[in-house]
Structures are given as C-alpha cells and as structure tokens.
Amino acid sequence: MDVGWLRNGHDIPDSEEFRYVAKGNIHQLEIAEIFPEDSGKYTCEALNDHGEADSSAVINVLGKLSSAHPTPSGNAFQMNNEHKF
C-alpha cells in the first residue's frame, strides 16, 4: 500500500518535522512541533491494487496551552474530520 500526506493539497515530505508512521494498517502523521502556520486541511491518501481512499481533517492551531498541559511548542489545536472511501 502506498500512503501519502498533504496539507492544503500540497505534498508533505516525510521528515523529522512531519514524520510518517505506520503500525500495521494504521498510518499516522506525527508533527514534532505545531504552530499557527501549520493550520490547514491535512489529507491522508492511500492506494493499493484494490483502489484508493482518503481521509481529511482540518486542524486549527489555537495558541498557547496552560502549563498544566505542556506540549513541545506549547500550542493547542482543534481538529474536524471528513472521510471519503
């Protein structure tokens, strides 16, 4: 199976910042640090001999979290999903 990731319709290369992770049939995009400029529509596209599918989520980076919930960048985000099979 070939899997790729896009943000706002543009390819996201597998890198230290945006890492492709596959655990069996589960595919994830790990974002090392998220910032407001990372907001947008993220899409996972999968293709194999039987066809293709994609799943998208709109991620809005809201700003800094309280110190009770630290993250590497300190930013919070909101996500809305849509799936197409």
Task: Give 61-84 pLDDT, tens digit per residue.
Answer: 877 665 545 555 556 555 555 555
Q: Give the residue extent of every domain in the chain.
A: 2-84
pLDDT, one tens digit per residue, over 4-51 is: 999 999 999 999 999 999 988 889 999 888 888 999 999 999 999 999
pLDDT (0 to 100) of residue 78 = 55
Q: Which helix (H) or strand (E) holds 38?
A: none
Q: Which residue(s) pair with 81 in the sheet?
A: 57
Quote the pTM value.
0.76
Residue 19 in contact with residue 32, Cβ under 8 Å? yes
Asked whether residue 59 carries a pLDDT value surpassing 60, the answer given is yes
Pick the CATH number of 2-84 from 3.30.530.20, 2.60.40.10, 3.20.20.80, 3.40.309.10: 2.60.40.10
